[in-house]
């Protein structure tokens, strides 16, 4: 196979994209009400999905992908994924599976380094009216 053909094949290759059609459709709906995302493309990540499917711990993921020098990036990503699930999914849309995933993700982050979650919970508690006197975990929903 010549170079041009190999490059064409590489250009056609992509990562697994479960629910790509549904995500694209929903992103277009969101884009219509959020003009600041008009110039952005949908770029879903599959890090959490991959970790769940492989039953990885944080250390397993670091070792498998060779991330020893950038483990902080993975931890921050997982913390952001957890916070996003906790803050943006309406309570009535949370299924038992999503709740289990969110709890697992929060526990994974806490066992690795709880400082990011503690800081987030502390800041969230300051923003809530009547949060004085409650701990960060209590103010963030008792997670």
DSSP summary character for residue 13: -
CB atoms within 10 A of CB 97: 8
For residue 29, tell me if it sits in a domain.
Answer: no
Identify whether the C-beta of residue 130 lies closer than 8 Å to the C-beta of residue 124. Answer: no
For the chain, how many structural domains are there in total?
1
Residue range of the domain that includes 109 = 46-139
For residue 91, tell me if it sits in a domain.
Answer: yes
For residue 13, tell me if it sits in a domain.
Answer: no
For residue 131, tell me if it sits in a domain.
Answer: yes
For residue 83, tell me if it sits in a domain.
Answer: yes
For residue 34, tell me if it sits in a domain.
Answer: no
For residue 74, tell me if it sits in a domain.
Answer: yes
The helices-and-strands tally (H runs, E runs) of the chain is 8, 0
**7 vs 4: CA distance, rounded Å:** 5
Three-state DSSP class for 130? coil
**11 vs 16: CA distance, rounded Å:** 15
Q: What digits encode the pLDDT tens for the residues 69-92?
A: 888 889 989 998 998 899 888 899
User: pTM for the complete prediction?
Assistant: 0.61
Identify whether the C-beta of residue 109 lies closer than 8 Å to the C-beta of residue 48. Answer: no
For residue 30, tell me if it sits in a domain.
Answer: no
Encode the chain (143 residues) as per-residue pLDDT tens digits: 788 888 888 778 777 777 889 989 999 998 999 888 888 888 777 889 889 989 999 999 999 988 888 888 899 899 989 988 998 888 998 999 999 999 999 999 999 887 877 777 787 788 766 644 444 444 444 44
**77 vs 129: CA distance, rounded Å:** 28
């Amino acid at each position: 196979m010549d170079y041009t053909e190999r490059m064409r094949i590489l250009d056609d290759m992509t990562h697994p994209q479960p629910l790509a059609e549904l995500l694209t459709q929903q992103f277009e709906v969101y884009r219509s009400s959020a003009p600041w995302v008009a110039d952005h493309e949908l770029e879903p990540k599959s890090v959490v999905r991959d970790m769940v499917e492989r039953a990885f711990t944080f250390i397993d993921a670091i070792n498998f992908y060779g991330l020893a020098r950038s483990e902080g990036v993975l931890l921050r990503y997982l913390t952001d994924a957890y916070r996003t699930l906790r803050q943006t999914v309406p309570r009535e849309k949370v299924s038992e599976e999503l709740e289990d995933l969110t709890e697992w993700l929060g526990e994974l982050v806490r066992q690795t380094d709880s400082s990011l979650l503690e800081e987030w919970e502390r800041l969230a508690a300051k923003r809530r009216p009547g949060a004085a006197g409650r701990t960060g975990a209590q103010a963030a929903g008792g997670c």
